[in-house]
Amino acid sequence: MAGAFPPVAELLPHRGHAVMLDAVLEHSENHTVARVCITRTHPLFVAGQGVPVWAGIEFMAQAAAAHAGLNNRRSGGTPRIGMLLGTRRYQAHTDYFAENMQLEVRAQREFGDNQGVGACRCHISHNGQILASATLIVVETSEDWTP
């Protein structure tokens, strides 16, 4: 589903500069696509280079959290506290996300169990070119979070 989505801050427990996503662009039961704008004001921006590619893991984790938050809202619930347990096969095809890039971060749900443990296959792209990819292992607690 594409269309109007709530502000990212309503889907994540992060505040201020800790919120790395700029907007949700697309969502379905199995995936979410979010945008990250790389600007000089980004909290991880390195002058003359951009944002280090290792920040992509956090972009992916926040996209996965936004996905879970949107699914919980769709079923009448509220966002829950979640944690990144691990990352498998993080592959980066650049050292930095350059200034003025409009990144698309896709989190695709691979599996999940009734204990809250799941995996998301993620990638970050710019103009259709994949810049980084990984599989994230995540857990969602039963603890609700209210923005």
Tens-digit pLDDT string for the chain (147 aa): 556 899 998 888 888 888 999 999 999 999 999 999 999 999 999 999 999 999 999 999 999 999 998 988 888 877 778 889 999 999 999 999 999 999 999 999 998 776 678 899 999 999 999 999 999 999 988 766 665
3-state secondary structure of 35: strand
* pLDDT given for residue 147 in this prediction: 58
Domains of the chain: 8-144 (3.10.129.10)
Which helix (H) or strand (E) covers residue 69, if one does? helix 56-74
* pLDDT given for residue 17 in this prediction: 86
* pLDDT given for residue 10 in this prediction: 87
| Cα 40–chain centre separation | 20
The pair phi, psi for residue 53, each rounded to 5°, is -65, -25
* pLDDT given for residue 25 in this prediction: 98
* pLDDT given for residue 3 in this prediction: 61
